[in-house]
Amino acid sequence: MRGQLDSSPAPPLRTHSNYRGERNSRLIRCLPDHANCALFITNIPVEVSIAEIFDIIDTGAVSSLHIQPATEVHSTNAAFLVFMTPKAAQTFKQRGAWIRGRELNIMYNREGVTASYASQSRVLMVDVPAYLINISYWLSFFSSFCAFSIDRILLQPSNVSGSGIMEFRFARIEGQSRMCLKGIRESPTLQHIVNVSYGRDPCKP
């Protein structure tokens, strides 16, 4: 049992006035480039999905990706991309990137973010019984306590008969994968039924 459960473009990041997620606690203005994990990217075609952007990232694990939609002033989207390490950000910036035939403008973000070596990931591996392999159920469950954006959802094989592993690739760790992992572990309904852990970020080389 393996495959991509949801190949449609991911919806934009939803924000709510009652959002109970976490905020980035590592923002530092005028952080030197050599220590900065945060990039600001412009010239992204408006039709590009979050999944397409993640597909061109292969220099290191990502802490967060947030899309800033086009406006009347700017006809293309922009993105705030934060890696886990400054080396990954530096390599991505120096190498450059193209998407749908368009070269992206990549610069360091003015509000920098320091490195994070925590053993966390934007990816969750959720080992579930067959009857819980249900995308609508999980999106509704996660939406009950946080706002999030999904890169994609995959189905991986499980060592347990009658089970499967749902791989959720979120757009960020803080306020998304971390909150959802906590929500699963603290849910009385899911205890002793579902196992959840962080997975490897495919953006790592």
Instruction: Give the tens place of pLDDT for each residue, 141-177.
Output: 999 999 999 999 999 998 888 999 999 999 999 999 9
Mean of pLDDT values over 175-203: 96
The residues, any chain, with a CB within 8 Å of residue 189's CB and separated by 6 or more, are none
- Please name which of 61, 89, 77 lies closest in space to residue 170, comparing C-alpha atoms: 61
3-state secondary structure at position 127? strand
Per-residue pLDDT at 170:
98
Phi-psi region of 139 (alpha: psi -120 to 50; beta: other; left: phi over 0): alpha
- Please name which of 24, 56, 55, 48 lies closest in space to residue 37, comparing C-alpha atoms: 24
DSSP secondary structure code for residue 57 in this structure = -
Evaluate if residue 190 carries a pLDDT over 70.
yes
Structure token pair of residue 174: 């803080």
Evaluate if residue 24 carries a pLDDT over 80.
no
Average the pLDDT over each of 15-19, 75-79, 153-157 and give the range with the smallest value.
Answer: 15-19
Question: Residue 37's pLDDT band (boundaries 50, 70, 90)?
Answer: very high
More confident residue, 88 or 25: 88
Q: With 0-12 CB in 10 A as exposed, 13-18 as middle and 19+ as buried, what is 172?
A: buried
- Describe the strand order of the beta sheet including 123-129 as a list of residue ranges: 3-6, 150-157, 163-170, 123-129, 195-198
User: Can you state the percent helix, strand and coil of the chain, rounding each to 5?
Assistant: 20, 35, 45
Terminus-to-terminus CA distance in the chain, angstroms? 26
The per-residue pLDDT of the chain, averaged, comes to 88
Question: Residue 15's pLDDT band (boundaries 50, 70, 90)?
Answer: very low
Evaluate if residue 6 carries a pLDDT over 50.
no
Q: pTM of the prediction?
A: 0.86
Per-residue pLDDT at 131:
95
Number of Cβ within a 10 Å radius of residue 15 = 8
